[in-house]
Amino acid sequence: MKTRFVSLRICAAAAVLAFAAGCTTFSRDGGFGAVSTVATERLGKDAVQVKTDADRDALARRTQALLSKPLGIDDAVQIALLNNRGLQASYAELGLSEADLVQAGRLPNPGFTFSRTRSSNDLSIGRTFSMNVLSILTLPLATKIEGRRFEQTKLETADAMLKVAADARRAYVEAVAAAQAATYAEQVKDSADAGAELARRMRRAGNFSRLDYAREQAFYADAVAQLGNARLRALAAREKLTRAMGLWGASTGYKLPDRLPELPAERPRLDDVERYAMDNRLDIRAAKLRTQGVAKSLGLTQATRFVNALEVGYLDNYETDKGREHGYEISVEIPLFDWGGAKVARAKATYLQSANRLAQAAIDARSEVRESYAAYVTRYDIAKHYRDEVVPLRKTISDEMLLRYNGMLVSVFELLADARDQVGAVNGYLDALKDYWLAQADLQQAMGGRLPRSGPAAGEPQAAVPASASGAASASAAADASVVSAASASPAASAPAGASAAASTDTSPAAIAAKVPTHAHGPAPSPASFTNSEGQ
């Protein structure tokens, strides 16, 4: 009766343990739901994990739909989230971490030992069932530790997704800015070509010194080199964007807009950026979970420092002369030489390491957001200064120089020199505009993937035409038109009678270059994909 009671208790305990083991199973989404939620809430985009060929085909169709129109910055981010293979590799970390969690919640397999010995007429049979009791006792704590690590992996994976989005955003800004700079460099080259042609004609007529002629030729040669560098930078920036979006083959023929978005109407204002960043940055949350998990591991190590192995077994033996024997055995590791001090010391060092890394991550995050916000505001002020002050002033100077040229008060080459000065102003504005949008992308990443909506100009960029820079480029083209008109009128002329009429016609640099019948230099190849909507 007593043996039966013990057997029932053993069966009941085994049933409870089996039920507990069944409680830890794989989730339906593999933890990806947390990443998808972050993408929706912080980016307004969809994050998809590709597992089957059907998933891959659906993403390919969606990608082609986005590429069928001029690519916007939001489209580039969405394509990167769908196609970036490095990001898909990061998603696999979720599966690895969840597998560790499920494994930690599973009961250890029991051990079975069987022996059969014979001596003369005696037969001895031994059967032993054993179980690692220590693993069972520490199962709840081990499951909690792995569960915390799984949550940490979710945050780290979501943070990796936000970094891919930020990289795609920066690559998009750089690609559009580089293409715009290459377009403007082509305009400058055409203008320099027109000036060099005029200088050649005047030199041939004997009305131009060798020094001035060499200056014009040197400016043209430098403009050709600058155009080559600008085209190379545009190509490199476009390829960087292509890599960020994970595109290849025919998909790399996407079309970008002609120019960057205009500045926001008002200066951006964001309040308490440090607190916002500390509340929203996923890497800080992941570091906290990592430190908490290490602390739990330290507690487990301290609790098991003396007893590292504890097994309980059930024996069922049979001998010929004695019959059947039942009993139990306990196997325990005696801490005679190893008292677990090294394990505890290692666990403590790991905890201190994790705690210090968490503190340093928080310090770095606060510093990064302060630096990013300062750059965000300063870049806005600089770009606005170029747009509202520098470029309009250069345009005014060009207008006045053009009037004086039409009144034969300045020479044609003084007009060209002024146009060259204006090149620096327009390039400065384009660089400042690019730097502002890059600073916004940096700040968005430093604050956890999104900006608060409390201040104006904190939203996403909207496409617009920078009127001041466009006007400055038009004024420069008008000056070049007058120069070419002078070259076409007479080789020895210094001021044409019809300069004003020429300025009111087609004043694009391409048209100017077409009016010159011959060239002293071979024309540089024209970029087929870098022209804007106004032909500038």
Check residue 169 and give its pLDDT: 94
Check residue 238 and give its pLDDT: 95
From 111, 131, 136, select the one nearest 20 (Cα to Cα). Answer: 136
Neighbours of 450 (CB within 10 A): 17
From 294, 501, 525, select the one nearest 402 (Cα to Cα). Answer: 501
Check residue 180 and give its pLDDT: 92
pLDDT in tens, the chain (536 residues): 444 444 445 545 544 554 554 456 878 888 888 888 888 888 888 888 888 888 889 988 999 999 999 999 999 999 999 999 999 898 988 888 888 888 888 888 888 888 887 777 777 877 788 777 777 877 888 888 888 888 889 999 999 999 999 999 999 999 999 999 999 999 889 888 888 888 888 888 888 888 888 988 998 999 999 999 999 999 999 999 999 999 998 888 999 999 998 888 887 778 888 888 888 898 898 888 888 888 887 777 776 665 666 667 776 776 766 777 777 777 766 666 666 677 788 888 888 888 888 888 888 999 999 999 999 999 999 999 999 999 899 889 988 988 988 888 887 778 877 877 788 888 899 999 999 999 999 999 898 888 876 544 444 554 443 344 444 444 444 434 443 343 333 333 333 333 333 333 343 333 333 333 333 333 333 333 333 333 33
> In order of start, what are the domains of the chain with their CATH numbers?
33-90+148-289+355-515 (1.20.1600.10), 110-137+307-339 (2.20.130)
From 482, 511, 507, 508, select the one nearest 497 (Cα to Cα). Answer: 482
Neighbours of 468 (CB within 10 A): 21
Joined tokens for residue 143? 């499951």
Check residue 484 and give its pLDDT: 39
Instruction: Find out whether 169 and 77 touch, Cβ atoms under 8 Å.
Output: yes
Helix, coil or strand: residue 92: helix
Check residue 20 and give its pLDDT: 53
CA distance 195 to 411: 12
SS3 of 145-199: the string is: HHHHHHHHHHHHHHHHHHHHHHHHHHHHHHHHHHHHHHHHHHHHHHHHHHHHHHH
Cα 7 versus chain centre, distance: 61
The count of C-alpha atoms lying within 13 angstroms of the C-alpha of 509, restricted to the half-sphere facing its C-beta, is: 22
Cβ within 8 Å of residue 43, ≥6 positions away:
77, 81, 162, 165, 449, 450
The per-residue pLDDT for range 30-43, each reduced to its tens digit, is 888 888 888 888 88
| CA geometry: angle 170, 172, 173, nearest 5 deg | 65
CA distance 135 to 61: 50
Give one word for 235, left, alpha or beta, with left for phi > 0 and alpha for psi -120 to 50.
alpha
DSSP 270: -
CA distance 129 to 131: 7
- What is the H or E stretch that residue 126 is in? strand 122-132
- The DSSP bridge partners found for residue 112 are 129
CA distance 79 to 47: 10
H helices of 407-508, in order, are: 412-446, 467-489, 499-503
Joined tokens for residue 113? 């030992």
CA distance 167 to 172: 9
Rounded to the nearest 5 percent, the helix, strand and coil shares of the chain are 65, 5, 25
